[in-house]
Each structure stands twice: as C-alpha cells, then as structure tokens.
Amino acid sequence: MKNKIFLKIGAIFVFIVSAYLFFIIFIISPKITKYFIDFETNQVKLQLEKISHIVDSKKEQINEFETFKEKEYRQKIRERSYLAYNTLQSYYKEYEKGNYTKDEAIEKALVIISSITHNDKGYLYLIDTKGNTLYHPTKTNIGRNIYALKDAKGKVFAPTIIKDVIEQKETYSSYFWKKLNSNTVSKKLVHSIYFEPFDIIVSSTTYESNIQVEIDAQKEKSIQKLMPLIETLSLEEHGHIFILDEEFRIIAHPDKSLMGESLALGKYSEYVDVSKLSKELKYSSSNQKMLKYTWNTKEDPENFIHKKLAWVEYNDFFGWYIISSIYKKDLEKKVEEIDSMLINLSIILLLVLMFIAILFVQKLLKPIQDLSENARLVEEGNLELRTPIQSNDELGVLANHFNKMLDAIQENTKNLEEKIQERTLEIRKKLYYDELTGLENRESLIESIKEEEFVAVNFIDINNFDDINELYGFQIGNELLIKITKRLQEFADEYELKLYRVNGDIFALKDTNIVRFLAYEKMIDKIHELFVKEFKIEGLGVDLYLSVTVGSSISQNQPVKCANTALNKAKQTSQRTVVYNKNIDVKENIKKMMHWKDKIKNAIENDNVVPFFQPIFDKDEKLIKYETLMRIRDNVDGKEHFLSPGNFFEVAIKTKQYFKLNQIVIKKAFDNIDRIGKMVSVNISFSDILNLDFMEFIEKEVKLLSKEQREKVVFEILESDFISDHKVLDEFILTYREKGIKFAIDDFGTGYSNFTHVLNIKPEYIKIDGSLIKDIDKDQTAFEMVKSIIDFSKSLKIIVVVEFIHNETVYKILQDLGADEYQGFYLGEPAPLF
C-alpha cells in the first residue's frame, strides 16, 4: 500500500527545499566556490614546498652521517682484529724464548682471544690457511673447515679471503651470513689480517645491517623533528601534511595514532587500491597535478566517502611521498560563511512556503487528533467508543484497526475475568488442600466448623511416624501416608464423616451427627480398629503395623484447639485416646512440670546426665570433630534408654535446672577431650552468657585446659536465641577467642542475629539451621537461602557446616553447593564415646 500521508506531506517539503536549493546552488554558490578554491590551492602548494625543502636538507645530513658511520664501523672491526693479532704476536715471542711450544703458545693465545667481547655488532674468528676454524664464538664451529663453505646467497667466500690476505697481509671483504643466534641474513663486512708466524688468519666482522639500523634511527630522528613543523602547517581546520613511504606506511602525520599504519595492510587495505594509488601518486608528483581521492573523517570514521584534494612531492632519497591535503568540504566552508547573508534572504522565502505547508498539514492531521482524543477516552475506561473516520488513506485504515482493537480488548477483558476466577480457585485449593493427599487441610477444617452448632473433631496421630521416615526415607513415608488416607477416607465415607490432614502425620475426622455424641467411645474404638490390619509397602516388600493416638473434642467452643490439647495429653500420658475436658490444661501442665523436674533432679544426683557426640565430616568424608549433645539416661521396665532435650528442655528452663545440666555436659566433654581425640563443639546460649554462675564455671573450666586442648574446642552460639545486648556477646567472643577457643553460629538462618552481625563477630564456623536443610531437595526457597548463606560465608572465609543430613539426595545437593562440613543421621547418629 502506498503511503499517501507521507506523499502528501513530502510533496510540500520537496517543493520548499527544491526552491531553496535551486536558488543557492545554481546562482550564488558556484561563483564563490571557484574563487576560494583557487586561493586555498595556492596555500596548499606553498606549504608543500616548505616541507619539501626541509626534507631535502635532512637528506644531505643523513648522507654525511652514513659516510661517517661506515668509516667508524670499519675502524672498530680493524681494532678488534689487531687486538687478536697483538695477542698472537705476544705469545709468539714467548714461543721464541722457549717458554712454550708452538701449540701451547697458540692455545694460550686463543684463550685470551676468546675473552674478547662479541655480539651482533661484531665478533672475531680465526682460521688457518687451509680454512680450518681455530676459534669462533659459536663453539660448534671450532674445528670446522670453511674453505668450501657457501654464504647465505650460495657463494664460496673463504678462498678469496685467504688468498687476498696472504698477498696483502690486511684486507676488507664482504659476504652474506646469518646473524648470531638468529635466522636473519645480512651482508657482513670483514677485516682480515694474516699472522704469518703461526700461519693464522684473524678476521673481525660486523653486519652492515647494524650500520643501516643507525642510519634508520637517524632518519627517525629527522621524522621526529619534522613532526612539530608538520603539525603547525595544518591547512584550515582539517587540512594537513603527511608523509608516506614507498610501502604506503605513514611516516609522519599530525594524528600521532596513525604513525606506522600501513594503507596497504590492516584496516585501510579494504578501502585503498594500492596499485591505483601508486600510479596516481607518481603521476601527480612528476606532473605537478592535483590528486583527488575520498577518505574518512573524525566525525565519520567508518565511511571513506569524503572528497579530498592533494598535491604530492616525491623525495627519492627517503623514498617518501610528501602529501599536502585538504577536504573539499573545508574549502567550501568559507563559501558557506559568505553565503550566510544570502541564506538569510532565502529563509524569508522558506518561511512563507513553510506557513503554507503548515496550514495544509494541519488539515491532514485533524483525523489523527481525533484518534488521539479517542485513545485518551479509552484509557479512562470508555471501551464503547468507536472512531468514525471513513477516508481511504492510512488514517482510515488506522481508525478501522483502532476500532477492531477495542473489540478485542473488550473480549480479552471478559476472558481475563474468567481466568482470574480460575486462578482464585487454584489459589484457594493450595490454601485449603493438602498437596500430597488431596485432602482438605487444617485451615479448611477451621473454616468448615465456624457455622457448625454441634461438631466432634478427632485428631488422629500416627505413632512413631518419624522413625519410619528416618528408617525408610521420606519417599516411603509419603507412600504410607497415601495408603493411610485411603483407609481413613473409606471409613469416613461409610460413617458420613469428613476427613482432613491437619499436619505431617496427624489427620482429623469431623463428625456432625449429634446422635452419635452420647456414646462416642464406640466411634473412637472403630478408628483404632482401622489400624489393626497391616499396611503393605510394595517398594520395600514389607508389611508395616501402625498404631494411633486419638484426641477428641465433642461439642466444645474451640473444637480444633481442644482436640489438639486432648491429643497432646494422650501422647504425654501414653493413652490411646483422650477426650477433652476443661480440667486437662491446668492439671496436665502441673503434672508434666513435677514429673520432669523430679526426673531431671534424679538424673543430676545419680550421674545420669550423659554427653552424646554426633560426628561431623569434611568434604572428603573424613571425621574431623564432634558436636556435644545432652541426654538423660532413663530406665523403663528394666530397659535403659536415653531422653533427648526435646522431652525436658522447656521444664529445665522454667525450673532453672538447665544451667546445671549444661555444666555437667560441658565438664564431661572437657575432662575427656584427649580421649575423644578430635575437635569438640559445645552449645552455649545467650542466656548462659548472661548467667554469672555459668560464666564463672566456664572461665574455671577453660583455665584447666591446656593451649592445645583449647584449640580443639568450639563454642556454638545459638542464633535462634534472642540476643538483647550484642555488646555483651561480642565481649564474650573476644575474651575466649584470645584464649584459643573457636566460635560457631548455630541454627543460622532462622534467628534474630543477621548477616550484619556476622560481619562484626567473624565466627570461624556457621551452622545452617536444620529446618532449611530438611526439605532442600523439595523446597526451592530453602535451596536458594542455603545457597546464599554458603556464598556469603565463603566470601568471608567462614567454614560452613550443614546439619540434619537425612538422606543421600540432600547430602549430594549440599556437596554441589560447596558446603565445607557435614552432620546428620545419614552420616552418623549421636552416641556416647566414653
């Protein structure tokens, strides 16, 4: 489709610009241009002549320098030859006196001659009249016969040197040879003397390329002296003088970055036809004709399209093309300055024409303004609006598309509302449904009973389910939960109950049949009967027998809370079932407190507080240290077992027995640190640090340790503690770090201290909290947090310890993330070491 609007507007501007350009280009500009081009041409030639005269003067200086250097090098090699000659003569006199044999005299003379300095600028070699090499700086050449040896250009040179020097006693000659320790071929200048008594020819050589190097250096100095002059002879703003050699390498140029650049090679080679340029330069220099070519500019370095005018002089001594050039557009610049007065007149004409054009464009743009206004109204929410433009150009097409777009927006808005409803349902499902079993969850249970007047809630806890996860892994545990769900769902369907999964291994049955409430123990018995039959686990080929603990709430104001309280009581008292009543909470808490207070007291008095040690391994699975853990030895039905702090920790804190327990564990660990044979870490809470009795105890125990023993101790500070005064903690760490104790931040990633405080205390270790490790293979958020903590710690050179490694998958993930040390039941369970 032709762009009609563009053609309409473009036609106006083409007409205006054409009239303007015609007036300037064809009437005024040609006359002014010719005058100034002639003037600037003369200026360019004048500058070129100045440089040419200076270059010619440099030629004479270099010729004189070349003659001087050749004489100097000849004298140097002659002096070196006579140095060797005099040495031979000295030992010949010793031979005549009878102090040496002839061979001894020659040998000793050669030793002295070998110490004469040699390098690329010259060296000595000695041969006899048969061409045998008696001495040469390159030892592999000694003994070699060079009589028939050819030089680098295939010419036999030795016979001529031997013949001439025997006849003339002293000669200069030359041949081509490779430089010492190099493949470079250069013409050699040789001075030879014949020492007749020993029949030895002494030759001292130098490469003529060495002379040429100094001549080239002199030329380079000449170039450097030319550069300031060339820079001062710039022509206008962009005109300049530059020099090319015969290989089109830039010898001198006001832009120093171009020095040494070759027009025949590199980035300029694709823009320069070297053969054509050579002919044009020769023609221009020999005929004194102007050279025309195109080049780039600083403002437009990528395009070689800008016309230049140049005049060329050729200097045959240096092999240089001396070029004075200027951009054609710069010659025309002054023309533009004079033209400005005429342009002012033409602008008046241009403005008149522009005014006419604007009136016409306004008429053309009216439909666009209408479209813009309609778009604004649409933005405000008026989707019913349509644009009634009926023209047959692009504006008409645009209006038609605008109306169709509004139709599509209305349709999409409707579809979006439907998708929002679908997404809302999806989010609701995630909020109120358990992902593994598909059952409604705790939140759904709480919502569902809000409108129920009479309801019974039964919490069903699978006994010892954590042991199944530890023994068989989480995958088998999940498979078992699905089978339990299926059996409970069949029961719920049979008795018109509603099944929920409220927590990991805890299910709930909601009953709204008030008739059953009077004799509800029968319903609870049926729940227990469901678990009499075994659960078959096909993946393991084993049958698992389970039991459950049930906590029930019947017609209570807070059914879920009451059912949970009843379940906790049942578990604490080892009953199969407890039905909630109001006296449970207070009585049970008191009973629990008294029970555990007596048990802790008994453990302290009867030495039943036992330290367990869980191994910690490095990247190479080498056991490097232990974490000290607290256990209480207990006896039930004649069987000894050990209670973990999860059973008594809360009571120990409330009854102020915890400090004594921790002291016992730490003391036993310190007393047996040599028997353990590895580093040992002990847990210290911030409340321990605030306890004056505990601090007195820890200071006493640390003093009893030797320097070597202290270096094996790590204090693990719990990050999950609320640290009310960081200054106190910092002082504690500083005090015991000076004594040789190392520090670890335990449970990092969940507590109150933060990355900033880690920067302040700079612990030797960071232990990442087990809650982040537990589901790292399933929880992307946990994975990213652990990765960030490891990266952060490594940047500070802090050793990262990861705990709660419960299976191989988690272990491999943490290895890939680059953790330093590893701890968990998968690698080693806590156990007593003594």
Residue 177 has pLDDT above 60, yes or no: yes
Write the DSSP string, 130-178: T-BEEE-SSGGGTT-B-TT-B-TTS-B-HHHHHHHHHHHSEEEEEEEEE
Helix (H, G, I), strand (E, B) or coil at 586: helix
Mean pLDDT on 90-112: 92
Neighbours of 712 (CB within 10 A): 21
What mean pLDDT is predicted for residues 469-483?
A: 85
What pLDDT score was predicted for residue 512? 85
Tokens of 253: 């140029």
Q: Which residues pair with 636 in a beta bridge?
A: 639
Phi/psi of residue 270, nearest 5 degrees: -75, -15
782 or 47, greater pLDDT:
782
What number of other Cβ atoms are within 10 A of residue 810's Cβ? Answer: 22
List, in sequence order, every residue forming a beta bridge with 831; answer none if it has no partner: 613
Which residues does residue 167 pair with via DSSP β-bridges, in sequence order? none
pLDDT in tens, 516-525: 766 678 888 8
Report pLDDT for 122.
81
Percent of the chain residues past pLDDT 90, beyond the cut: 33
pLDDT, greater one: 570 or 367: 570
So what's the pLDDT on residue 432?
80
Residue 18 or residue 467, greater confidence: 467
C-beta neighbour count of 57 within 10 angstroms: 10
pLDDT band at 24 (very low <50, low <70, confident <90, very high): low
Give the helix ranges, DSSP H, for 558-676. 559-572, 584-605, 645-654, 658-671, 673-676
User: Which phi and psi angles does 609 have, rounded to 5°?
Assistant: -90, 115
Given a cut of 50, whether residue 235 has pLDDT beyond it is no
pLDDT at position 28 is 64
Sheet holding 456-462, edge to edge: 498-503, 506-511, 456-462, 548-554, 577-579
| Residue 462: per-residue pLDDT | 93
The partner residues of 618 in beta bridges, in order of sequence, read 821
User: What residue type is 487 in one-letter code?
Assistant: R
What is the C-alpha to C-alpha distance for residues 116 and 159, in angstroms, rounded to an integer?
26
Q: pLDDT tens-digit profile of 707-729?
A: 999 999 999 987 655 566 778 88
Query: Is the pLDDT reported for residue 509 higher than 90?
Result: yes
Question: Of the spans 13-27, 592-606, 672-686, which averages the highest pLDDT?
Answer: 672-686
Q: Output the CA angle 649-650-652, nearest 5 degrees.
A: 65
The answer, yes or no, to whether residue 588 has pLDDT greater than 60, is: no
Q: How far apart are CA 526 and CA 490, in angstroms?
A: 13
Q: Return the number of other C-beta atoms located less than 10 Å from residue 256's C-beta.
A: 10
Mean residue pLDDT across the chain: 81
Contacts of 647 (CB under 8 A, 6+ apart): 596, 632
- pLDDT, average across residues 509-521: 78
Q: Is pLDDT above 80 for 751?
A: no
696 contact partners, CB below 8 Å, separation of at least 6: none
What is the reported pLDDT for 620?
94
Question: From edge to edge, which strands make up the β-sheet containing 291-295?
Answer: 250-252, 240-245, 320-327, 306-315, 291-295
Q: What are 607's two structure tokens?
A: 């030495």
Which of 448, 559, 440, 455 shows the shortest CA–CA distance to 501? 440
**Residue 498 bridge partners (DSSP):** 510
Report the pLDDT averaged over residues 284-305: 80
* Per-residue model confidence (pLDDT) at position 39: 66
The arithmetic mean of pLDDT across residues 127-141, rounded, is 91
* The pLDDT value given to residue 792: 85
Check residues 455 and 237 and name the one with the higher pLDDT.
455
Asked if 802 and 773 count as a contact pair (C-beta separation under 8 A), the reply is yes
Residue 119 clears pLDDT 80, i.e. is over it = no
Residue located via tokens 């018109």: 496
Token representation of residue 716: 């693990």
Q: Is 301 within 8 Å of 292 (Cβ atoms)?
A: no
Reading the block at residue 353, the tokens are 């024409």
Q: What would the pLDDT profile of 540-566 be if each residue is shown by its tens digit?
A: 777 888 999 999 988 777 888 888 988
pLDDT at 362 over 70: no
Res. 753: pLDDT tops 50: no
At position 141, the amino acid (one-letter code) is N
pLDDT band, very low/low/confident/very high, at 752 (cuts 50, 70, 90): very low
Sign of CA dihedral 364, 366, 367, 372: positive
Closest CA to 189 of 115, 118, 123: 123
DSSP-assigned states of every residue in 57-121: HHHHHHHHHHHHHHHHHHHHHHHHHHHHHHHHHHHHHHHHHTSS-HHHHHHHHHHHHHTS--BTT
Question: When comparing pLDDT for 212 and 360, which is higher?
Answer: 212
Beta strand pairing status for 623-636 and 577-579?
unpaired
pLDDT of 146 reads: 92
Task: Please check whether residue 776 is in contact with residue 787, taking contact to mean a CB–CB distance below 8 angstroms.
Answer: no
Tokens of 824: 């968990």
Contact 28, 344 (CB under 8 A): no
> pLDDT for 180-210, tens place per residue?
667 778 888 999 999 999 999 999 998 888 8
* Mean pLDDT on 63-88: 88
Distances (CA, A) of 105 to 2, 89, 92, 192, 302: 106, 10, 6, 21, 74
Alpha-carbon gap, residue 340 to 334, rounded angstroms: 10
Question: Got the DSSP string for 261-320?
Answer: -BSSSGGGTTT--HHHHHHHHHHHHHHT--EEEEE--SSSTT---EEEEEEEEEETTTTE
Regarding predicted confidence, which is higher, 472 or 19?
472
Helix/strand number for the chain, H first, E second: 26, 26
Residue 605, class by beta-carbon neighbours within 10 Å (0-12 exposed, 13-18 middle, 19+ buried)? Answer: exposed
Q: How confident is the model at residue 673 (pLDDT cuts 50, 70, 90)?
A: very high
Question: For residue 310, what pLDDT is reported?
Answer: 82
Residue-level pLDDT at 5 = 56
Q: What integer is the mean pLDDT of 112-124?
A: 81
What per-residue confidence (pLDDT) applies to 2?
A: 44
Give the position of tokens 């004056």: 692
- Please check the confidence at residue 532 and state whether its pLDDT lies above 90: no
Mean pLDDT within 238-261: 75
DSSP β-ladder status, 799-802 and 765-768: parallel
Q: How is residue 440 written in tokens? A: 């409604």
What is the distance between the alpha carbons of residues 124 and 203, in angstroms, rounded to a whole number? 6
Which pLDDT tens digit goes with each residue over 599-645? Answer: 899 999 999 999 999 999 999 999 999 999 999 999 888 888 899 98
Q: What is the pLDDT of residues 321-347, one digit of tens each?
A: 888 787 777 766 766 666 666 666 666
Q: Are 227 and 250 in contact (CB under 8 A)?
A: no
pLDDT of residue 586: 44
Average pLDDT rounded to a whole number, residues 285-301: 80
**pLDDT category of residue 696 using cuts at 50, 70 and 90:** very high
